[in-house]
Amino acid sequence: MLTIFWKYIKKHPYVYGITTFFALLSSILTIVPNYLIQKIIDEMVNHSLTTQNLSQLLWFFFSAILLIYLVDVTWVLLLFSQSYKYQSSLRTNLYKRLLQLRTPFYERFRSGDLMTRMTSDIEFLGDTIGYGFMLIVSNITWALSIFMIMFVTISWQASLLSVLPLFFFAWSVFKLWQKVDTLYEENRDAVANLSNEVLEVVDGVRVMRAYGKKEMEQMHFQTKTTTVLEKANNLMFYSGAVGQVAKIFTGLSTAIGLTFSGYLIGQGQMTVGQLISFQIYLGMLSGSIWGLSDIVLVYQQGNVSFRKVEEILTAEDGVKRNGFDELDSFEAITFSDYSFTYPNNTLPTLEKINLQLKKGETLGVVGPTGSGKTTFIRQLLRQYPLATQGKLQINQKDIQCYKVNDLEKRIGYVPQEHILFSRDVAHNIRFGKTFATQAEILEAIQTADFTKDLEQMPDGLATLIGEKGVAISGGQKQRIAIARAFIRQPELLILDDSLSAVDAKTEQTIITNIQKMRQNQTTIIVTHRLSAVAKAHKVIVMEHGQITEMGTPTELLAKKGWYYQQYLNQQLEENVDANL
């Protein structure tokens, strides 16, 4: 952590150079008022203080106080301004990193933990490079300046004796550091777990109410809160111990210094003014030691937070992004004996997939639940590391040869879980094309058969849909997500069971619009309802990660396999529903 901080400080030499200079200047100036007090007292004791001398000394005294104030304000503002810039830069880099990482990474880290790293951990790092730097520079320079002036102008014997207890204080603090580090990390992790709990409660609050589990979840949450409280209390106990140790040793230092100073006065080796100045200096020295004791907690918080943030910045998801070729279009997508196994699994999820999809074709992907349909399309999205067995090629070239950004720009993806933002309808659709015109938005809405729903919304395109679309129905969520994909006019459109929440009539309208609007573009439709792929150029049936049937819908019906049986079942269900 200190190495990273030092590199950052070297990138901004003028700011930290000026800050250090003003901190040193402040430490030197702080001695002036005390010296003036000593002069006034000594002249009073010697009966040599005149009105003119007093006026001059008071003028210098208040001038020094004002100058110290201006110097302190300047360097503190510079330091903390740079600290906030550091936090902003770090938060931007961390957010950029999170956008780059793929699915395997998010399977290891929970949302609450990531939120803690993006907020509290970055703030603690900012405090370390800001408040921590201030403590080190100001208190160390202050302590050294005070000790030197005590040593030179008052008594070197009294100065050395009063400093001896501080060495024992340093040793005690070093021992406490190790315990504080462990306890702080435990407390931080407990808070992150509590954040995870809150996020899950917010997401699942309606399910909890429906199942009458509010009391049970309340007890579970109370347990988590109690754990956080216990961890925090343990941390505060040891953090407070640092302060108490500082109080003991600084008090001992003051007692020794004043006792020996009294002896020196008795021997005529110290004046009354020097005694009072020495007492003030000891108080100032104790204050600097108190400030240095704060470094223990600040450093440990920053060190733990640094490890957490660095873990994200250096994290890998296993997905190689080594492509350099540009992708102009999807002329052909080819799977050749392609097998895929998830990183944490031992058995393959996809096994020996052989398929070719040409430009302008519509591919239907059907099969029972858990057959590998979603895993199949994830290979095109580069969400996971590519398999080492077999080949996945685009335009007769391995997919990893292409730039990931080129792939992403030419694919429109509508996942099973429709992620919507807590903005209005227009914002969620325009997310697919940032500078889309009003006409383009309305065309996408019409293609997704969302026009009638939009007309019934109170504010039309400006209607707020709530967090994750909580204010609208499941079918409306799906169609807004479909419109978002349509508006970018992708060369490859992937619908992953994206019509499950709409009725059969709406489904057919959307499918018809797809055929009409995307005649020369490639489409993949993953679905459980065969009616959605009835007009597809090619349909594959997946079972246990393998393609067990392939052909046109008519050819698959003639084979009388899984597709045929599922067709009969769905026809029977539709007839029953019609009769009802």
For range 537-554, the mean pLDDT: 93
Give the chain's length. Answer: 580
> Is the pLDDT at 556 greater than 80, yes or no?
yes
> Is the pLDDT at 363 greater than 80, yes or no?
yes
Q: What is the pTM of this model?
A: 0.71
CA distances from 134 to 14, 130, 458 (A): 16, 6, 55
Give the range among 219-233, 341-355, 397-411 with minimum mean pLDDT: 219-233
pLDDT confidence of 213, banded at 50, 70, 90?
Answer: low
Alpha helices in 361-430 (DSSP H): 373-381, 404-409, 425-430
Q: What is the pLDDT of residue 291?
A: 67
DSSP state letter for 184: H
Q: Could you give the 3-state DSSP secondary structure of residue 12?
A: coil
Give the chain's domains with CATH numbers.
Answer: 2-313 (1.20.1560.10), 325-410+491-580 (3.40.50.300), 417-489 (3.40.50.300)
- Closest to 180 measured CA to CA, from 290, 343, 296: 296
Q: What is the pLDDT of residue 578?
A: 56
The DSSP annotation for 249-299 comes to HHHHHHHHHHHHHHHHHHTTSS-HHHHHHHHHHHHHHHHHHHHHHHHHHHH
pLDDT confidence of 292, banded at 50, 70, 90?
Answer: low
Q: What is the pLDDT of residue 178?
A: 66
Per the CB < 8 A criterion, the answer to whether 184 and 304 are in contact is yes
Mean pLDDT of the chain: 82
Please give the order of strands across the beta sheet that includes 397-398.
350-358, 332-340, 389-394, 397-398
pLDDT confidence of 573, banded at 50, 70, 90?
Answer: confident
H/E element holding 109? none
Q: What is the pLDDT of residue 321?
A: 66
Model confidence pLDDT, tens digit, residues 148-207: 777 777 777 887 887 777 777 767 776 676 677 677 777 777 877 777 777 777 666 666
Other residues' Cβ atoms within 10 Å of the Cβ of residue 540 = 24
Q: Packing angle between helix 140-153 and helix 156-203, nearest 10 degrees?
A: 170
Q: What is the pLDDT of residue 543?
A: 93
Which of the two residues, 580 and 279, has the higher pLDDT score? Answer: 279
**Distance separating alpha carbons of residues 430 and 441, to the nearest angstrom:** 7
Backbone φ, ψ for residue 384 (5° rounding): -130, 160
pLDDT confidence of 210, banded at 50, 70, 90?
Answer: low
Which of the two residues, 143 and 493, has the higher pLDDT score? Answer: 493
Other residues' Cβ atoms within 10 Å of the Cβ of residue 374 = 16
For range 394-423, the mean pLDDT: 86
H/E element holding 337? strand 332-340
Model confidence pLDDT, tens digit, residues 75-113: 888 888 888 888 888 899 898 888 888 888 887 888 778
For range 554-558, the mean pLDDT: 93
**Both tokens assigned to 349:** 């999820």
> Is the pLDDT at 501 greater than 90, yes or no?
no
For range 379-392, the mean pLDDT: 85
- Closest to 87 measured CA to CA, from 58, 118, 60, 110: 118
Q: What is the pLDDT of residue 526?
A: 93
Burial 36-61 (b: 16+ CB within 10 A, else e): bbbbbbbbeeeeebeeeeeeebeeeb
**Both tokens assigned to 442:** 């309305």
Query: Which regions of 95-184 does DSSP assign to beta strands (E)?
Result: none
Burial 426-454 (b: 16+ CB within 10 A, else e): bebbbbbbeebeeebbbbbbbbbbbeebb
Share of the chain above pLDDT 70, in %: 92
Model confidence pLDDT, tens digit, residues 228-268: 788 878 777 777 776 677 777 777 877 887 788 788 877 77
Question: What is the distance of C-alpha 525 from the center of its chain?
Answer: 34
**Distance separating alpha carbons of residues 471 and 13, to the nearest angstrom:** 52
Ranges 35-44, 221-230, 247-256, 447-456, most confident: 447-456
pLDDT confidence of 492, banded at 50, 70, 90?
Answer: very high
